[in-house]
Structure 1
């Protein structure tokens, strides 16, 4: 088994966790390949990795890889998407962060997780992504960007609202007067969108949700749409520009830039180990249905 490993190098437990991970991999005679920045940090920290191969971009990952391992938290998992992209390589998140909703394997259980993988005791959860396109070039990003959780538009350098004009399949929907607007996938429905009053959507649901951020209108509520719809947006406001976040990445766009958001033509293959599921994670991590009446006597 060939395993690509990516991690959040600034985490204080990163090198300790990587040492443990590599030990489990070597014990099973598997082949680790480290992301270039992680490799450099491991080498400078005195880890015995000098003979390991590295990768630095999505172009370095081909179909010879069996697994992409993300070590960190949910933010690290989201950054992994830009390496995996449309390769189809299954992704497993090892949590050394806080919540660990996407990165839901605890570091002390990594050995067990490997055994599950080697013995095919897992399922693949196909997670949809969304694609952002703009009609004007941007110095900070190419014309196309992807996100697994959400794309969020928000005000920049001002306390004033922005206006987000919205079209669905070229039909005018609304102008949101708000601090911003979130376009979320089912995977992202438990993140920023949820914090702004959006619904939780099961990952297999073929839908997107539009969730306004602090709208100045009692009638502006989250809207669920089919994921085959194309969303077009245009922002205006008192400042000449606004922010767009794609998961963990921030981009600045000039007002009146036309943005198009649609479902990406590929999925991320997220590994669910035997005994784990989206609904179990809801109960365990977000305390879904927590009620003292549900406790067993």
Structure 2
């Protein structure tokens, strides 16, 4: 993972002289379709070629757009992939962008939406930034997953942007696992599964399972057991160079590894899963200066004024006005006249 870098000007002025943008859209809602149509019209007026996925093109009905099948080549030659939908749509689009040099940026039209940094009300800013090539690009750590059988032969693999989850197949069974880090056994326990998550994925499945929230520019791999039958089954944060191994004893319990909830690989009885940092990251286009901490405040409606000053606020997501430093007590407008408890030093 690297710090944010300015947009690659060679991508904004490609050799063939044509800038392309791939739209990846959740077509199940009329308002999202309408937003995609208006955005495509604006980008086309600015001289960019709009590309659509074949399985979404009919619902979108955008005239003059390129249409390509979903697959590794869909984002080939595209400068940016604009995602309109929730985190599920973003993860689907990440499969396309990761195979190329295209950068991802998302408009959150889902519920929480931590992966997409742009909200619907700032779509115009996002489009302007793309048109004028005024955005930065950061690389997000991804995971490489290898599955081995009992004899140590590799039988499959996948990758993940959020998390790779080793999980039981049968709900009525407890999955016994042996956990090792860098080839050294660490512990064993019965559980529902074990998550290996990236900092990007720390606010997803790992967060729900009790893992820590990790800033996305931190380089680390998270290990989070789910419903473990053990006293020592705390979330772990390991080096990005570490290799996590989850072994499944040959007791007949069926297990699989699920990557981002989209790709699954069956684990042979007595097999193991190795998870490590992938050599290929996902590139994220950032057009908003908002910090990750500000996004946490907005998404979870976190109180940042103290329990007294928070009374009467506008509701979740409105506690932190844009540009306000929450560590400075600058806002005197909310203090009662004449001091009182809230106005005391």
- Report the alpha carbon displacement of residue 134 of structure 1 after superposing the two structures with TM: 1.2
TM-score (norm 2): 0.76
Q: Distance in 1 between matches of 2:223 and 2:65?
A: 48
Measure how far apart 1:289 and its partner are: 5.2
| Aligned counterpart for 1:52 among listed residues 58, 62, 66 | 66
Out of 295, 302, 307, the residue aligned to residue 292 of structure 1 is 307
Point out where structure 2 has 5 or more consecutive residues left out of the alignment.
Answer: 1-18, 150-154, 311-330, 335-345
CA distance in 1, matches of 2:301, 2:134: 26
Stretches (4+) displaced over 6 A:
none
Task: Give the structure-1-normalised TM-score.
Answer: 0.88
Q: In structure 1, how many angstroms separate the alpha carbons of the residues matched to 2:30 and 2:282?
A: 28
* Higher Cα Rg, which structure: 2
Cα distance in 2 for partners of 1:14, 1:54 equals 20
Number of matched residues? 288
| C-alpha RMSD over aligned residues | 2.4
Following TM superposition, by how much is the alpha carbon of 1:55 offset from its aligned partner in structure 2, in angstroms? 4.2
Residue aligning to 1:260: 274
Superposed counterparts of 1:92-111, under 5 Å: 92-111=105-124
**Structure 1 spans left out of the alignment, 5+ residues:** 137-141
Residue in structure 2 matching 1:210, options 223, 229, 232: 223
Name the SS of the counterpart of 2:280 in structure 1: strand
Cα offset, 1:287, TM superposition: 3.2
Could you tell which deviates more after superposition, 190-199 or 156-165? Answer: 156-165
1:226 corresponding residue in structure 2:
239
**Corresponding position of 1:241:** 254
Pick from 274, 290, 312 the counterpart of residue 276 of structure 1. 290
Mapped contact 1:94–1:104 kept (Cα < 8 A):
yes
Structure in which a larger fraction of residues adopt strand = 1
Residue deviations 1:57-109, cap 9 Å, x none? Answer: 123433x3211111110111111121112423110111221112111212342
Answering whether residue 79 of structure 2 is matched by residue 66 of structure 1, we say yes
**Alpha-carbon distance, 1:31 to partner:** 1.0
